[in-house]
């Protein structure tokens, strides 16, 4: 009987399988990396159900991974096991739905504006516009590449991500800023936000630049990361529209359960709402 040994050839075939399934590039790399790490932990031993269970416990006890992180690894391993038809499947950890967002991670509109002001003060026009594009349109960092000169001219961007296509509107006040920026840098077509080598900006580029604004903007570093701009858009849009299904479509979510995560309020905000009810006399 052939043993279930994870080999380089199997990993290569698995990578191609994920690509054929049109998984996002980041997902492909993470799944393959997680399986490779599991293989290294096995040390050449056979991948069995018991070994997988032991590895799951190792992630919790020795690596002290949070439940969500362990479940992310489990998703990749289960995908690989299914691809290999090895008959192994791990159950994800049960996670109680989060009720509140940690206050130290909730970016406010006022803090967002201070970040924009700090970006301008540092002469970073690109970052100034990148943050506004993500926050005012509600897109993912990986979707910045769809903010093109052509999209700015039409006021509409067609975004394809995770095998789904959606149309988003570019705010009218942002359009002339984008076109002026592109013209000033000789960008007549295609992606507006690019590196010196002409490649679209990625998460690491933007994250590093945003972190440099914290002190000048007087914003806690724990709040300053690209995805928090998208979260701010979601909270403000829902506050004005109160239509979670519409918001899910705008954000490109397949389930409103994902959208609800974006709408979590801080415990302090919830406390104020409860106190305002005036039910204690």
Q: Which CATH number do you get for residue 34?
A: 1.10.150.130
In-domain check, residue 152: yes
Three-class SS state of 169: strand
pLDDT on residue 50: 96
In-domain check, residue 92: no
Of the candidates 92, 225, 93, 250, the one whose C-alpha atom is nearest the C-alpha of residue 166 is 250
Q: Are residues 47 and 133 in the same domain?
A: no
Burial class (CB in 10 A: 0-12, 13-18, 19+), 127: buried
In-domain check, residue 1: no
In-domain check, residue 255: yes
Residue pair 179/153 in contact by the 8 Å Cβ criterion:
yes
Q: Looking at 84, 113, 139, which one is the last position of a domain?
A: 84
In-domain check, residue 107: yes
Q: Which residues, listed in sequence order, are joined to residue 239 by a DSSP beta bridge?
A: none
Of the candidates 158, 107, 162, the one whose C-alpha atom is nearest the C-alpha of residue 135 is 107
> Which residues constitute the domain of residue 164?
103-272
Q: Are residues 211 and 117 in the same domain?
A: yes
In-domain check, residue 280: no
SS3 assignment for 106-156: CCCHHHHHHHHHHHHHCCCHHHHHHHHHHHHHCCCHHHHHHCEHHHHHHCE
Burial class (CB in 10 A: 0-12, 13-18, 19+), 122: middle
Q: Are residues 80 and 164 in the same domain?
A: no
Q: Are residues 76 and 107 in the same domain?
A: no
136: domain CATH number? 1.10.443.10
Give how many domains the chain has, as a whole number. Answer: 2
Q: Are residues 152 and 232 in the same domain?
A: yes
**What are the pLDDT tens digits along the chain (281 aa)?**
468 999 999 999 999 999 999 888 889 999 999 999 999 999 999 999 999 999 999 998 877 788 888 999 999 999 999 999 999 999 999 876 666 666 778 899 999 999 999 999 999 999 999 999 999 999 999 999 999 999 999 999 999 987 789 999 999 999 999 999 999 999 999 999 999 888 998 888 899 999 999 999 999 999 999 999 999 999 999 989 889 999 999 999 988 888 888 887 656 666 777 788 777 87
Q: Are residues 148 and 60 in the same domain?
A: no
Q: Are residues 60 and 153 in the same domain?
A: no
Q: Please, where are the H alpha helices in the chain?
A: 8-20, 25-42, 49-61, 67-84, 109-121, 125-137, 149-154, 174-184, 203-211, 214-217, 226-241, 244-251, 256-262, 267-276
**Global pTM exceeds 0.75:** no
Beta strands in 8-59 (DSSP E): none
Region label for 169, one of left (φ > 0), alpha (ψ between -120 and 50) or beta (otherwise): beta
Q: Which residues contact 190 (CB under 8 A, 6 or more apart)?
A: 148, 149, 150
pLDDT on residue 52: 96
Q: Looking at 84, 111, 131, which one is the last position of a domain?
A: 84
Q: Are residues 149 and 251 in the same domain?
A: yes
In-domain check, residue 126: yes
In-domain check, residue 123: yes
Backbone angles phi, psi at 38, to 5 degrees: -65, -40
Q: Are residues 246 and 160 in the same domain?
A: yes
Q: Are residues 61 and 181 in the same domain?
A: no
Three-class SS state of 227: helix
Q: Are residues 144 and 249 in the same domain?
A: yes
Q: Are residues 153 and 260 in the same domain?
A: yes
Residue pair 167/156 in contact by the 8 Å Cβ criterion:
yes
Q: Looking at 57, 84, 111, which one is the last position of a domain?
A: 84
């Amino acid at each position: 009987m052939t043993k279930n040994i994870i080999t380089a050839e199997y990993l290569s075939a698995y990578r191609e399988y994920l690509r054929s399934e049109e998984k996002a590039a980041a997902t492909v790399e993470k799944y393959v990396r997680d399986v490779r790490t599991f293989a290294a932990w096995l040390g050449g031993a056979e991948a069995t159900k018991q070994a997988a269970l032991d590895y799951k416990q190792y992630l919790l006890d020795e690596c002290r991974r949070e439940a969500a992180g362990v479940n992310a690894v489990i998703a990749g391993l289960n995908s690989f096991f299914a691809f290999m038809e090895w008959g192994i499947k791990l159950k994800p950890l049960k996670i109680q739905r989060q009720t509140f967002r940690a206050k130290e991670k909730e970016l406010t509109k006022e803090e967002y504006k201070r970040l924009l002001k700090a970006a301008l003060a540092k002469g970073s026009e690109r970052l100034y516009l990148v943050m506004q594009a993500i926050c005012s349109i509600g897109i993912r960092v990986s979707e910045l590449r769809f903010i093109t000169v052509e999209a700015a001219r039409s006021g509409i961007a067609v975004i394809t991500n995770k095998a789904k296509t959606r149309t988003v509107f570019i705010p009218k006040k942002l359009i002339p800023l984008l076109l002026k920026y592109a013209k000033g840098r000789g960008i007549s077509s295609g992606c507006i936000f690019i590196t010196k080598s002409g490649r679209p900006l990625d998460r690491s580029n933007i994250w590093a630049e945003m972190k440099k604004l914290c002190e000048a903007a007087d914003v806690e570093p724990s709040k300053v990361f690209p995805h928090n701009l998208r979260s701010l858009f979601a909270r403000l849009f829902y506050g004005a529209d109160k239509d979670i299904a519409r918001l899910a479509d705008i954000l490109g979510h397949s389930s409103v359960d994902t959208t609800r995560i974006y709408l979590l309020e801080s415990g302090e905000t919830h406390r104020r709402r409860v106190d305002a009810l005036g039910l204690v006399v």
